[in-house]
Structure 1
Amino acid sequence: MSGPATVSGLAARAEALDAGDPLARFRGLFVDSPEVTSYLDGNSLGRPLRRTADDVRRFAEDEWGGRLIRGWDERWLDLPLELGDRLGAACLGAAAGQTVVADSTTVNLYKLIRAAIELANADPAGPARTEIVADTDNFPTDRYLVDGIAAERGMSVRWIDADPLTGVTGAQAAEAISERTAVVVLSHVAYRSGYIADARAITALAHAAGALVVWDLCHSAGAVPVELDAWGADFAAGCTYKYLNGGPGSPAFAYIAARHLPALRQPIQGWLGRRDAFEMGPGYEPADGIRRFISGTPPIFAMLPLTGMLSLVEEAGIAAIREKSVALTEFAIAAHRELLAPLGVTLASPEQAAVRGGHVTLEHPGFRELTQRLWARGVIPDFRAPQGLRLGLSPLSTGYGETLRGIEAIRDELARSDAGLPV
């Protein structure tokens, strides 16, 4: 175990970093739990804003209670597009008219993958594109969807056997993508290791082969700058309850490049994606633009926390948020090296900040059993089988001292286990 001098050195460093943090003013805007001393799971569920309770109350009293059904015509019908444009500008590098807030990540990915397959096979004179390219270490939803859609369409899946530590490389993508590829489905930031894929290069590889790409941005949005338009991206989807603090089950988002919108066929044709939804006509004619990607009634109430959080992201700026994210993960890695590595804990995230997202994953055989003990003492990391502990450090709500307290607790619990002390 590291000695007192090391611990005091880390503590002094954390104190100095917190004191000099240009984003420190945002930390007090989030709700703190009196039972939690170190929240290290912002990459799974972000803390709520203090203003959210008032936002919900005002909405219930003034808009829902005051305007009642008139709210749809006055504001609510356009809210998924307005929030989509704000999200696109603040976090996704997407010009207006290409992003919508709706549904869940799973539903949006399903829509996008199905639409991409049809679009890729739209030219009857072109090659039959019968393959989907995906990787074996992607989040389960992505893999399950790819399997299911391939079965529905009589297609096959070309699996990239990704190293969890390094993620999908450009060389692996180049080897997997061919003229048979309809769509490539990958995560920009790997959910286990935090590895950042080279989205620009992989997108270019797919396009050179005539294929399309769907990017999963769940672990990117709000923590890692994304440049969908500059990448030449086709489609993307992601959630809003991680670094965007939208709350449990908050609606997801979908991006469709403007060039694809006129030809896009909505695979889940719902009433609100119709050109004139309130005509209630006999046939489906898609609306113009990104609105055609909406299927059913938008979850307006569930969008309220995201509205408040986007204001913070816009004020802070995604570049400053990324700078803080890098500094937090660098500090966590340094603390791991001094406090945890001597106890057999290994780093399962990239060392290089340029290819590391907003979380750090550590591995140890005892972490599964350890997690519940940490939670009981108010330290909340995230366990991922078989032996990974993810430290999700949300830049606007997490401080360096809080990060150190969590890592010290991990050290203490491991030391107790190694010493055979009662837990």
Structure 2
Amino acid sequence: MSDLLKGRLKDQLKDRLKGRREEHLEARARDLDTADGLAGHREKFALDADTVYLDGNSLGALPAHVPARMADVITREWGELRIRSWDESGWWTAPERIGERIAPIVGAGPGQVVVGDSTSVNVFKALVAAARLAGDGRDEILVDASTFPTDGYIAESAARMTGHRIVPLDPAAMAEAAGPRTAAALVNHVDYRSGRLHDLPGITAALRAAGALAVWDLCHSAGALPVGLDAHGVDLAVGCTYKYLNGGPGSPAYLYVAERHQAAFDSPLPGWNSHADPFAMTPGYEAAAGAVRGRVGTPDILSMLALEAALDVWDGVAVEDVRAKSLALTDFFLECVRAYAPEGRVASVTPEAHGERGSQVALRCAEAPAVMAELIRRGVVGDLRRPDVLRFGFTPLYVGFADAERAARVLAEVLADVPAGAPAE
């Protein structure tokens, strides 16, 4: 038999095995979707069948009923009732009311979550307040060394304001590093780049044992996995609402202030909306009781009410079920990537262990910019973290197992078409 014929037979065998492998994984995806108790929630979102949307860890999909709600807010509440809507439409109480709806998703009891401002503003409030709560003699703030950049910028500013110094650390080292000089630690629950889930219960317990406060950034965990703020004794927490909570671009963030800290919570941004008697317009500031003292200025009503409507998709949903599906989805996607992708072209930087994984998969790929651009052109929407990380976020309320299989298959096709060393377009 000639070498040419041998080569052809070998290629035919490889193609046959590849086809069988794809058929097996496609069939498994169908079976998993059929058994998925959350599959019916997908129809609540404005999604098209031609796109696999795996960027909910940056911007969640639009819940389909939100536009009608916003049309009513704009035409009736604003257009007809106008100023009366502050009372008659409940605008004034929206920050606390919506906070109560987010609270169960993050494991908080009543009266501890208030919605408003951006994540950055709330990080600033929480970190300065934590430094003040810690008291004299504690002059250091531990900061997740791999934190989302803004958190680091805010921490530096908070440290300058309060006379503290910043100590950047891997979160795994914080438990041992916390000591009598530690005022607080700012930690990301899930690393935005790698998808690593940090040990919230263990780090929080170690910080509290050292007399320090734990401030957690929940942007990449809330709505994807149980957080347990009350159960684990977290002091302060912040998070955005436009990722897994699907509140829309720039939707307001939230601030959690544990009940035991509320009376002494000293916000660096006191505003008329957090005053004990806002309409008295007195020159002296007296903070309102409870988490309301985390408010600042006039709430951003349009985006806030869009968020309130978006949270309807959580009615009857247990976050534990969301977590179970998230892990199953990311497991299956990684299995498909290993089966389909050309050897050596991508490597996961997301931990395999369930206890260390959020709801995203990050793949290191030397040609990441070119690969992601082509993936998006072919209907698989993830995102990129330069220079070489492909990120795929799995939102269990609307992403299915067929989506995961298709994304991995298209990724393999793109890797076959994009040559090694290809520059970004």
The TM-score range, normalised by the shorter chain, is over 0.9
The more displaced of 69-78 and 303-312 is: 303-312
1:331 Cα shift?
0.9
TM-score (norm 1): 0.93
Q: 2:140 is matched with which residue?
A: 131
Q: Is 1:60 equivalent to 2:61 in the alignment?
A: no
**Aligned partner (choices 148, 152, 164) of residue 161 of structure 2:** 152
Matches within 5 A, 1:109-120: 109-120=123-134
Amino acid of the residue matched to residue 161 of structure 2?
E
Q: 1:199 is matched with which residue?
A: 200
Q: Is 1:285 equivalent to 2:279 in the alignment?
A: no
Q: 2:268 is matched with which residue?
A: 267
SS at match of 1:245: coil
SS at match of 1:152: helix
1:153 Cα shift?
2.9
| Contact 2:108/2:229, CA 8 A, preserved across alignment | yes
**Aligned partner (choices 90, 99, 103) of residue 117 of structure 2:** 103
Amino acid of the residue matched to residue 418 of structure 1?
P
1:343 Cα shift?
4.3
How many pairs are equivalent?
A: 408
Q: 2:34 is matched with which residue?
A: 19
Higher relative contact order (CA 8 A, sep 6+): 1
Amino acid of the residue matched to residue 157 of structure 1?
I
Q: 1:408 is matched with which residue?
A: 409
**Aligned partner (choices 140, 147, 154) of residue 149 of structure 2:** 140
Determine the C-alpha separation between the residues in 2 that align with 1:282 and 1:154: 28
1:407 Cα shift?
1.7
Determine the C-alpha separation between the residues in 2 that align with 1:414 and 1:307: 41
SS at match of 1:342: coil
Determine the C-alpha separation between the residues in 1 that align with 2:419 and 2:31: 32
Deviations 1:232-262 (A, max 9, x none): 1100000000000001000000100011010
Q: 1:49 is matched with which residue?
A: 63
Determine the C-alpha separation between the residues in 1 that align with 2:67 and 2:91: 19
The more displaced of 189-198 and 231-240 is: 189-198
Q: 2:333 is matched with which residue?
A: 332
Q: 1:40 is matched with which residue?
A: 54
Q: 1:257 is matched with which residue?
A: 258
SS at match of 1:184: strand
Q: 2:366 is matched with which residue?
A: 365
SS at match of 1:272: helix
Q: 1:7 is matched with which residue?
A: 22
Matches within 5 A, 1:273-422: 273-340=274-341, 342-418=343-419
| Contact 2:59/2:243, CA 8 A, preserved across alignment | yes
Q: 2:94 is matched with which residue?
A: 79
Deviations 1:110-131 (A, max 9, x none): 000001101101xx5xxx1110
| Contact 1:37/1:405, CA 8 A, preserved across alignment | no
| Contact 1:245/1:305, CA 8 A, preserved across alignment | no
Deviations 1:57-103 (A, max 9, x none): 112233222322111123111111011011102x1110110001110
Amino acid of the residue matched to residue 350 of structure 1?
P
1:338 Cα shift?
0.9
SS at match of 2:374: helix
The more displaced of 193-202 and 249-258 is: 193-202
Structure of greater Rg: 2
Deviations 1:298-345 (A, max 9, x none): 112102332233222232221111111111111111111111262421
Amino acid of the residue matched to residue 164 of structure 2?
M
The more displaced of 335-344 and 241-250 is: 335-344
The more displaced of 226-235 and 379-388 is: 379-388
Determine the C-alpha separation between the residues in 2 that align with 1:107 and 1:389: 28
Deviations 1:19-60 (A, max 9, x none): 2211111111111247x5211111110100110110111122
| Contact 1:130/1:156, CA 8 A, preserved across alignment | yes
Q: Indicate how the Cα distance of structure 1 residues 335 and 147 shifts in structure 2: closer, same or farther if over 3 A, else same.
A: same
Determine the C-alpha separation between the residues in 1 that align with 2:121 and 2:413: 42
| Contact 1:94/1:228, CA 8 A, preserved across alignment | yes
Deviations 1:209-231 (A, max 9, x none): 11111000001110111110111
Determine the C-alpha separation between the residues in 1 that align with 2:198 and 2:215: 13
Determine the C-alpha separation between the residues in 2 that align with 1:367 and 1:6: 25
Deviations 1:259-287 (A, max 9, x none): 10101112101111111111111211111
Structure 2 spans left out of the alignment, 5+ residues: 1-13
Amino acid of the residue matched to residue 208 of structure 1?
A
Give the aligned CA root-mean-square deviation in angstroms: 1.9
Q: Is 1:88 equivalent to 2:100 in the alignment?
A: no
Determine the C-alpha separation between the residues in 2 that align with 1:61 and 1:26: 29
TM-score (norm 2): 0.92
1:420 Cα shift?
9.8
| Contact 1:240/1:246, CA 8 A, preserved across alignment | yes
SS at match of 2:143: strand
1:148 Cα shift?
2.1
SS at match of 1:312: helix
SS at match of 2:285: coil
Q: 1:28 is matched with which residue?
A: 43
Q: Indicate how the Cα distance of structure 1 residues 154 and 266 shifts in structure 2: closer, same or farther if over 3 A, else same.
A: closer
Determine the C-alpha separation between the residues in 2 that align with 1:294 and 1:421: 49
Deviations 1:157-182 (A, max 9, x none): 1111x3xxxxx32xx11232111111
The more displaced of 149-158 and 16-25 is: 149-158
Q: 1:238 is matched with which residue?
A: 239
| Contact 2:238/2:256, CA 8 A, preserved across alignment | yes
Structure 1 spans left out of the alignment, 5+ residues: 163-167
Q: 1:165 is matched with which residue?
A: none
Determine the C-alpha separation between the residues in 2 that align with 1:351 and 1:175: 25
Amino acid of the residue matched to residue 237 of structure 2?
A
